[in-house]
């Protein structure tokens, strides 16, 4: 088979396949239609070249000439979608292209076109016209990369120029028979330019899907890897199979040709994986040295993070490691707070971003990042432009809002930190302030892998903190028994002695006041020891079926006279609530503690609301106040023993309340904490007997409430 004769047909079919691929898109921008015109022009020109070689000149020769004249016109219009919109060069190039179009078509239509010598000169002029305009178009395309704010595009623009010019020059070699065959019909040059033309056409078909020159470099690298691998494997196959054919010719006997083909195939299968890895490694070092260094630095950072057991260590190691890559100038680590209402800044690199961001303001960014594993600001900006071009203004505005939200984080790339259970733990924001487009497509998986590692470390640090807390509480429990004997007995003796001394003193004695102080302080110390023991000992109590609203009402009646008259108590009772199983004294103690804390937080003036309602298979008691709220610094230690903001408090009230509720298989949540007040939620599971009897366990969370307002005393 004559390769030079059949290659144009194969090239035409491949170019048409690329055209159909783009046409099958459901949504096509202007760039897609321009590519269709360009690729169709290339395909028809190759097909006309094949038919002309098969059937001779005449009309086919003129048609081939017309396709050659139109080729740079469609190519320039397509390349303008990627070239720099400068005021002079592209416009001047367009004027030259339009001015030369009609003269070139006139030369093709002239009677001299079919003559030998004059026709050869005309074809040479067409060749100069095609090559000149294509080179100018590639040069205009490279200007965008050279003037781009993206380091990646600037660096890779020179590869684009090299590939484009090489493809143009080799295509010119393919056009030589178009000229020379008019004089020397036996000329038959190998059509090697078709391979490069199709490779460049394929790269452009991929680029319009991503709308940036950046991808040309990755595609060129992959093309080189595949080509090198194909050449090596083809060489192995050729030598093993052709050696047997040569032996058959020399020795004039039949040999096991089929067996040799099997052996060659086995050798290729065995060597394919190690050869591919070796070729990819060498190509990566040569073409992608910067990416390889970045991946090496990130992998080193991931190994360091594996040993972090504290959040502070995690933040410090992460920021130092990212700075060490020399590819990151700004970064931030945000973690979801205990109430899951916002993100708190844990660590940052570069200019300090917002210390806290509400989850609601980042909902679009978080949803996108969780769905795709990453949110890329530049890609979102391009997608928004595409939506506007397609007339989808609403979707474009949504994308633009996400871009603005990412600006508040000071990052061009946002990665979600997700637990194994799929819960959002936080966000990692990364950027390079020196360039607009800091990371290549094949570098994003590196960042995603780092984010996955950070999420694992965050979960490990929290697990480590829980283990430390458990060990600390176990030690406290062991100490509590000793404290009961070592402190309580002397306290009893001291208190008894002080009371006896007070009883023997005259009523007007100046020392009687100091004896009273001794008695009061000994009593306070005894209460601290008792609270300490209450927290340390297991909570069994006397659990029974109880009506939560009944306990709430009795508690309000008990505490009402102890509160200042300026505090209003309100009870919003749920209707048809099922029973729970808990010691009523334990629940009353929890509610008393929460109500008294709320009263102290409001400084004796405000309103406390207790609401009861069904919540799935649980009953919930909400205790809300109108106080100043709880500071963010205190929220993380809220239920930790001895953590308090009171000057006279022990810091055990909430810790004991949590243990009491946990003993009933329930939990206490801080539902809200803001300038409008604080709400604690006591969630208790519905008793099994209540569930079996259909006592409303499945009532919705927003059941009808009856408002019972307790007036101020």
Domain ranges of the chain: 3-212, 214-287, 297-450, 465-536, 544-710
Q: Give the per-residue pLDDT at 87.
A: 40
**pLDDT at residue 450 tops 60:** yes
Q: What angle do CA 228, 229, 235 make, to 5 degrees?
A: 90
Note the pLDDT of residue 187: 44
Among candidate residues 300, 306, 299, the one with its CA nearest the CA of residue 454: 306
pLDDT at res. 66: 87
Whether residue 462 is predicted with pLDDT greater than 50 in this model: the reply is yes
Give the DSSP per-residue string, 220-250.
Answer: HHHHHHHHHHHHHHHHHHHHHHHHHHHHHHH
Nearest-angstrom CA–CA distance, 684 and 682: 7
Q: Shortest CA distance to 240 belongs to which of 259, 271, 264, 268?
A: 264
Q: For residue 160, report the phi and psi dihedrals to the nearest 5 degrees.
A: -60, -45
Q: Region 75-82: what's the mean pLDDT?
A: 75
The CA distances from residue 572 to 553, 602, 621, 648, 683, in Å, are: 10, 20, 10, 32, 16
Q: What is the total residue count of the chain?
A: 713
Residue 194: which H helix or E strand, with range? helix 193-210
Tens digit of pLDDT for each residue in 197-209?
777 777 777 666 6
Residues 694, 101: Cα–Cα separation, whole Å:
86
| Residue 565: both structure tokens together | 């008259």
CATH pick for 465-536 out of 1.10.3470, 1.10.287, 1.10.357, 1.10.3230: 1.10.287
The answer on pLDDT for 234 being more than 80 is: no
Residue bearing the bigger pLDDT, 191 or 170: 170
The mean pLDDT value for 74-92 works out to 63
Q: What is the pLDDT of residue 387?
A: 82
- Quick one: pLDDT at residue 150? 54
675 pLDDT more than 50 = yes
Q: Which of 75, 69, 122 is nearest to 94 (CA)?
A: 75
Phi, psi (rounded to 5 degrees) for 350: 85, -150
CATH of 544-710, one of 3.40.250.10, 3.30.565.10, 3.40.50.300, 2.30.110.10: 3.30.565.10
- Alpha helices by DSSP H, 110-192: 117-147, 151-180
Task: Say if residues 555 and 549 touch (Cβ distance below 8 Å).
Answer: no
Left if phi > 0, otherwise alpha if psi is -120 to 50, otherwise beta: which for 190? beta
- Residue whose structure tokens are 């984010």: 451
Q: Dmax over Cα atoms in the chain, in whole Å?
A: 142
Q: Which residues pair with 344 in a beta bridge?
A: 335, 356
Mean pLDDT of 145-151: 59
Q: What is the DSSP letter of 686?
A: B
Mean pLDDT of 422-428: 91
Average confidence (pLDDT) over 643-670: 77
- 3-state SS of 284-348 is HHHHCHHHHHHHHHHHHHHHHHCCCCCHHHHHHHHHHHHHHCCCCCEEEEEEECCCCCEEEEEEE
In this structure, of 203-207, 463-467, 590-594, the range with the lowest mean pLDDT score is 203-207
338 pLDDT band, cuts 50/70/90, is confident
Terminal alpha carbon distance of the chain: 107
CATH topology of domain 3-212: Rhopdopsin 7-helix transmembrane proteins (1.20.1070)
Which pairing describes strands 330-336 and 567-574: parallel, antiparallel, or unpaired?
A: unpaired
List 571's β-bridge partners, or say none: 610, 708
Residue with token string 């950072």: 301
Q: Which residue has the higher pLDDT, 487 or 266?
A: 487
Across 339-369, b (16+ Cβ under 10 Å) vs e yields: beebbbbbbbbbeebeeebeeebbebbbebb
d(CA 435, CA 444): 16
297-450 under CATH 3.40.50.280, yes or no: no
pLDDT at 247 over 60: no
Query: What is the pLDDT, as a whole number, of residue 668?
Result: 92
Q: How many other CB atoms are found less than 10 A from the CB of residue 671?
A: 16
Task: Give the Cα separation of 417 and 396 in Å (integer).
Answer: 26
Beta-carbon neighbour count of residue 630 at 10 Å? Answer: 20
Does the pLDDT value for residue 252 go beyond 50? Answer: no
Q: CB of 165 within 8 A of CB of 135?
A: yes
pLDDT at 623: 94
pLDDT confidence of 708, banded at 50, 70, 90? very low
pLDDT at 88: 45
Band (194; pLDDT cuts 50, 70, 90): low
Position 154 scores a pLDDT of: 58
**Average pLDDT in the 454-481 region?**
80
Mean pLDDT of the chain, nearest integer = 76
Strand partners of residue 678: 673
Residue-level pLDDT at 453? 93
pTM: 0.47
Which tokens hold the place of 556? 């309000």
**Weakest mean pLDDT among 30-39, 210-219, 544-553:** 210-219
Report pLDDT digits (tens) over 254-295: 445 556 666 666 766 676 677 666 666 665 555 555 677 888
Residue ranges of the alpha helices (H) in 376-511?
A: 377-389, 393-409, 444-504
Q: Quick one: tokens of 118? A: 């004059």
Confidence of residue 622 (pLDDT cuts 50, 70, 90): very high
> Model confidence at 216, in pLDDT bands (50, 70, 90)?
very low
Q: Who wins on pLDDT, 549 or 521?
A: 549
Using DSSP, state whether 602 is helix, strand or coil.
Answer: coil
Neighbours of 544 (CB within 10 A): 12
Cβ distance 357 to 343 under 8 Å?
yes
Task: Specify the range with the lowest mean pLDDT, choosing from 172-186, 358-372, 433-447.
Answer: 172-186
pLDDT score at 159: 57
- Is residue 537 a contact partner of residue 554, using CB atoms and an 8 Å limit? no
């Amino acid at each position: 088979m004559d390769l030079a004769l059949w290659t144009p047909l194969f090239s035409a079919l491949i170019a048409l396949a690329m055209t159909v691929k783009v046409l099958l898109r459901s949504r096509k921008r202007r760039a897609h239609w321009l590519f269709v015109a360009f690729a169709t022009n290339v395909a028809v020109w190759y097909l006309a070249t094949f038919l002309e070689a098969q059937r001779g000149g005449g009309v086919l020769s003129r048609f081939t000439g017309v396709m050659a004249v139109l080729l740079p016109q469609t190519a320039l219009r397509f390349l303008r979608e990627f070239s720099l919109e400068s005021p002079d060069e592209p416009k001047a190039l367009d004027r030259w292209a339009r001015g030369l179009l009609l003269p070139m078509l006139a030369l093709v239509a002239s009677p001299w076109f079919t003559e030998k010598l004059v026709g050869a000169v005309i074809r040479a002029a067409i060749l100069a016209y095609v090559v000149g305009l294509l080179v100018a178009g590639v040069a205009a395309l490279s200007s965008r990369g050279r003037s781009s704010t993206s380091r990646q595009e600037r660096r890779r623009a020179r590869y684009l120029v090299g590939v484009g010019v090489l493809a143009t020059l080799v295509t010119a070699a393919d056009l030589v028979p178009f000229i020379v065959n008019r004089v020397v019909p036996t000329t038959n040059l190998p059509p090697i330019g078709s391979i490069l033309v199709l490779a460049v056409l394929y790269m452009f078909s991929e680029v319009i899907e991503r709308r940036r020159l950046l991808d040309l470099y990755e595609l060129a690298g992959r093309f080189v890897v595949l080509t090198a691998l194909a050449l090596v494997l083809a060489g192995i196959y050729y030598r093993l199979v052709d050696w047997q054919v040569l032996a058959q010719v020399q020795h004039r006997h039949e040999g096991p040709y089929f067996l040799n083909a099997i052996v060659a195939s086995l050798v290729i299968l065995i060597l394919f994986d190690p050869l591919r890895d070796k070729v990819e490694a060498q190509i990566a070092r040569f073409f992608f040295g910067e990416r390889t260094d970045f991946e090496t630095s990130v992998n080193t950072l991931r190994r360091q993070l594996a040993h972090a057991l504290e959040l502070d260590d995690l933040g410090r190691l992460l920021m130092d490691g990212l700075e060490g890559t020399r590819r990151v100038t700004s970064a931030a680590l945000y973690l979801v707070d205990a109430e899951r209402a916002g993100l708190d800044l844990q660590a940052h690199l570069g200019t300090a971003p917002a210390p806290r961001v509400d989850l609601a303001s980042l909902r679009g960014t978080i949803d996108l990042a969780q769905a795709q594993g990453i949110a890329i600001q530049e890609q979102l900006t391009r997608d928004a432009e595409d939506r506007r071009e397609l007339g989808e203004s609403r979707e474009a505005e949504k994308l633009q809002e996400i871009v603005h939200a990412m600006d508040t984080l000071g990052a061009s790339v946002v990665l979600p930190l997700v637990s194994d259970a799929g819960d959002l733990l936080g966000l990692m924001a990364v950027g390079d302030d020196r360039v607009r487009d800091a990371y290549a497509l094949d570098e994003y998986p590196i960042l995603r892998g780092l984010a996955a590692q950070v999420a694992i470390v965050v979960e490990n640090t929290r697990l480590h903190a829980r283990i430390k807390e458990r060990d600390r509480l176990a030690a406290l429990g062991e100490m509590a028994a000793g404290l009961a004997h070592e402190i309580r007995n002397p306290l009893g003796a001291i208190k008894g002695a002080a009371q006896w001394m007070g009883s023997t003193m005259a009523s007007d004695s100046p020392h009687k006041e100091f004896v009273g102080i001794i008695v009061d302080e000994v009593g306070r110390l005894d209460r601290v020891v008792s609270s300490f023991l209450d927290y340390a000992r297991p909570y069994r109590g006397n659990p029974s079926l109880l009506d939560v609203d009944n306990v709430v009402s009795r508690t309000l009646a008990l505490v009402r006279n102890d509160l200042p008259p300026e505090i209003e108590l309100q009870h919003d009772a749920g209707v048809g609530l099922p029973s729970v199983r808990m010691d009523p004294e334990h629940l009353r103690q929890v509610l008393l503690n929460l109500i008294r804390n709320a009263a102290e937080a409001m400084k004796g003036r405000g309103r406390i609301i207790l609401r009861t309602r069904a919540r799935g298979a649980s009953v919930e008691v909400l205790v809300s106040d109108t106080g100043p709220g709880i500071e963010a610094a205190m929220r993380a230690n809220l239920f930790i023993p001895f953590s308090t903001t009171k000057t006279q408090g022990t810091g055990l009230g909430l810790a004991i309340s949590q243990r009491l509720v946990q003993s009933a298989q329930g939990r206490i949540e801080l539902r809200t904490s803001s300038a409008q007040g604080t709400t604690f939620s006591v969630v208790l599971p519905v008793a099994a007997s209540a569930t079996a009897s259909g006592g409303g366990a499945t009532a919705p969370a927003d059941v009808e409430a009856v408002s019972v307002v307790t007036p101020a005393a």
